[in-house]
Amino acid sequence: MQQAIDSKPAGLLRPALALFITLSVITGLAYPLVTTGVAKLAFAHQASGSLIERNGQVIGSSLIGQAFSSPGYFWGRPSATAPMPYNAASSGGSNLGPTNPDLTQAVKDRIAALKAGDPANTAPVPVDLVTASASGLDPQISPAAADYQIARVARARGLPVDAVRNLVRQYTRAGAWAGILGDATVNVLALNLALDKLAAAGH
C-alpha cells in the first residue's frame, strides 16, 4: 500500500508536463506566429510599425511624432517624455494639473517660442501647439495648428503661402469613420517630408 501511494506523484508528473509543453507550444509559439503572419498579410504596413522611408532609409513612424524646431518645418505637439521628446520607450504626459503654476509657465514659454518664430502672426495660438498629450508621442496636429504655422514655414522656405496651404489641405485627414467620429488631423512628419519634396521641386 505504501508503494502505491508513493507512486502517484510520479504518475501525475508526466501528463502535467505534457500538458505544459503542449500549451507552451500553442500559446507561446504557434499562436504568435499565426497572428503575426495574418497581420503581415492583411495589414503589412501597420504590422511593421507604420514606418516611413526616404531614399530607402527608415526615418520614422507615422504613429510617433518627432521634434522639429526649424522655422522651415511644421512643429508638432509638445512632448513631455524623458530624457528626450517623443521617446517611445518612456511614453507619458507631464501629469501637471490645470492649476499647477509649472504648467502655466510651460504654456507661456511655448507661446513665446511660437511668437518669436512668427512675430507678425496675431492669430490665437491653437491649444495643441502649447499642451502635451497624455502619451507624449502624438504624431498629428489639428488643421488649425497647421494653419497657424503656414506663413512662417512659407517665409522660411521662400515658398508661396498658397502652395504651402494647399499642401496642408492635401495632408489633412478626416476623423475616423468617414469624419463622423474624431477630429481632422495633419500628420506632421508626412507633411514635412512633402514640404521637402515641394521645395526640392522648385514649387
Task: Return the pLDDT at 45.
Answer: 67
Domain that holds residue 31: 2-45
30 and 117 together in one domain: no
pLDDT of the chain, 203 residues: tens digit per residue: 455 555 566 678 888 898 999 999 999 998 988 888 887 777 766 767 788 887 888 888 888 999 999 999 999 999 989 889 999 888 988 888 889 999 999 999 999 999 999 999 999 999 999 999 889 999 999 999 999 999 999 999 999 999 999 999 999 998 766 556 778 999 999 999 999 998 887 76
177 and 100 together in one domain: yes
Q: Distance (Å, rounded) from C-alpha 66 to C-alpha 72?
A: 15
24 and 113 together in one domain: no
Question: What's the 3-state SS for 100-163?
Answer: CHHHHHHHHHHHHHHHHHCCCCCCCCCHHHCCCCCCCCCCEECHHHHHHHHHHHHHHHCCCHHH
149 and 65 together in one domain: yes
- Record the cell numbers describing residue 159, joined without a space: 515658398
Pairing of strands 140-141, 172-173: unpaired
39 and 69 together in one domain: no
Kindly report whether the global pTM for this prediction surpasses the value 0.85.
Answer: no
Count CB atoms within 10 A of the CB of residue 110.
18
DSSP run (H or E) holding 60: strand 57-61
40 and 64 together in one domain: no
Determine contact, residues 181/191, Cβ cutoff 8 Å: no
Q: Distance (Å, rounded) from C-alpha 24 to C-alpha 52?
A: 35
Determine contact, residues 185/168, Cβ cutoff 8 Å: no
Determine contact, residues 159/198, Cβ cutoff 8 Å: yes
Task: Return the pLDDT at 82.
Answer: 86
Q: Distance (Å, rounded) from C-alpha 83 to C-alpha 156?
A: 29
- Record the cell numbers describing residue 145, joined without a space: 495648428
24 and 86 together in one domain: no
DSSP category for residue 75: -
101 and 7 together in one domain: no
180 and 87 together in one domain: yes
Question: How many domains, the chain?
Answer: 2
60 and 140 together in one domain: yes
32 and 64 together in one domain: no
34 and 76 together in one domain: no
Q: Distance (Å, rounded) from C-alpha 141 to C-alpha 129?
A: 8
